[in-house]
Amino acid sequence: MRYDEFVARVRERGEYPDRAGTERVIQQVLGVLAQRLGPDEAEDLAAQLPLPAGAWLTARPGGARGYGVREFLAQVASGVGATERTAEWDAGAVLSTVAEAVSGGELNDVLTRLPAGFAALFGRPVLSD
């Protein structure tokens, strides 16, 4: 998937008014995800995303912090200046697009490193085939 297509899909899903706002949300969600995954898995995921989205996964070094969905959403909300409910919408728009952009095997790798509640944000209640 090309970067322009990635942004367009996130923008449509999130119903964002402009590209700049969409990119800000993408950057925040991917940055917080990277901190949750840790550097090795973030790099693997980044390799399958278009630039600069992939680079945003590796820009914030993380140590595979062990927080769950609620803390993840709180960090996204804080970064974009939104409520946790809005952050859930934002995360879903970005992460469901990530799920479409990467291979099923990579998506499974990511989901197995995260608590079960994250799968719904990726639009995948179960692992990919």
Kindly report the CATH number assigned to the domain that includes residue 44: 1.10.490.110
Structure tokens at 52: 């600069």
- The answer as to whether 19 is a domain residue is yes
- The Cβ of residue 90 has, within 10 Å, a number of other Cβ atoms equal to 27
CA distance 114 to 77: 19
Query: For residue 78, what are the domain limits?
Result: 3-121
Q: What is the pLDDT of residues 23-59, one digit of tens each?
A: 999 999 999 999 999 888 999 999 999 999 999 998 8
Beta strands in 13-123 (DSSP E): none
- The answer as to whether 126 is a domain residue is no
- The answer as to whether 129 is a domain residue is no
- The answer as to whether 106 is a domain residue is yes
Name the domain count of the chain.
1
> What pTM, to 2 d.p., does this model score?
0.93
